[in-house]
Structure 1
Amino acid sequence: MTTVVIADDHPVFRAGMVTVLSDLDGIDVVGQASDGEEALAVVAATHPDVVLMDLRMPGVGGVEATARIRVEHPDTAVVVLTMDSDDDSIFAALRAGARGYLLKESDGLDIERAVDGVARGEAVFGAGIAERVLAFFASGRTPASSPFPQLTNREHEVLELIAQGLDNQQIARRLVLSDKTVRNRVSDVLAKLHARSRAEMVALARDAGLGG
């Protein structure tokens, strides 16, 4: 029996997933969570084989929760189940340690295969995602290593510029973004790094070798 925890901030979607998975032989849903922090607590309490993890949740998001599960519960595999199909989200999740990546448009059979596959130690991706991952590695590139795997590529760029001493307006001009977008990115980075201030965020970044 493969035990599963579902982490998603939409209760209707969670209920639907419970219904889908409960109808499948060999899968037992042992817990649910509405954000990353709750997911970590539920995983610690239930020790599931697999977590189905949304990326965008309030508080601790799916990428950070995945990274922490990988460290704190290495026997639990994470399958990302999200609406986000952009490269930043995909490779942030993979760097964090996700063993699978599916879009929410996936049907029950795809989800069943992913749960079974990652429980056996495989890496499983939805068709469109698999093609992009394979194309990426076929190009000879490798994902950039990072001391902060929970951050997206754009958030890394913002953090690097913050560590260099740039203010929000300077970052906006450098990255050709609106001031509002930069403020949102800075807030996201603060939350993901659990930094209480911009100064603390700069200190963390410089300790990790950024801003040089």
Structure 2
Amino acid sequence: MQLASNAVPGDEPREFETLAWLVRGLPSKTIALRMGLEDITVRKYVSHLLAHFNLRRRTELIVMLADKAIKLGVPPITDPAHDRSPSAVGQQRAD
């Protein structure tokens, strides 16, 4: 079963992306770096997700999704450092 991004409350695309990274076991700080956000913002998204599903812990959220066989797909790469990598810069110059 695939979870649609509109099944996530609030700032849907970003919370959905947060959830996709969360189920891969990444801590909030790492998710924040990959998404180009502050750690507090990611923690707020996680809090919204937990409240939406009436859960208290991140682990409960991950287990719930696994129990229901919900797949989130691959989160998009929004890491600002990834966008500035030498290979990305070289590709942009070649175009």
Q: How does 1:54-133 map to 2 (within 5 A)?
A: none
Partner of 1:153: 13
Partner of 2:70: 208
Residue identity opposite 1:179 in structure 2:
D
Match of 1:196 among 56, 74, 80: 56
TM-score, with structure 2 as normaliser: 0.62
TM-score, with structure 1 as normaliser: 0.29
**Change in CA separation of 1:180 and 1:203 when aligned onto 2, cut-off 3 Å:** same
Show structure 1 runs of 5+ residues with no match.
Answer: 1-144
Partner of 2:36: 176
Q: What is the CA distance between 1:149 and its match in structure 2?
A: 1.4
State how many pairs are aligned.
Answer: 68
Larger CA Rg, structure 1 vs 2: 1
Q: SS at 1:183's partner residue?
A: helix
**Change in CA separation of 1:161 and 1:174 when aligned onto 2, cut-off 3 Å:** same
Contact 2:28/2:43 (<8 A) preserved: yes
Tell which has more relative contact order, 1 or 2 (C-alpha 8 A, sep 6+). 2
Q: What is the CA distance between 1:155 and its match in structure 2?
A: 0.8
Show structure 2 runs of 5+ residues with no match.
Answer: 75-95
* d(CA) in 2 for partners of 1:204, 1:153: 20
Give 1 or 2: higher helix fraction.
2
Give 1 or 2: higher strand fraction.
1
- Runs of 4+ in structure 1 off by over 4 angstroms are none
Partner of 1:14: none
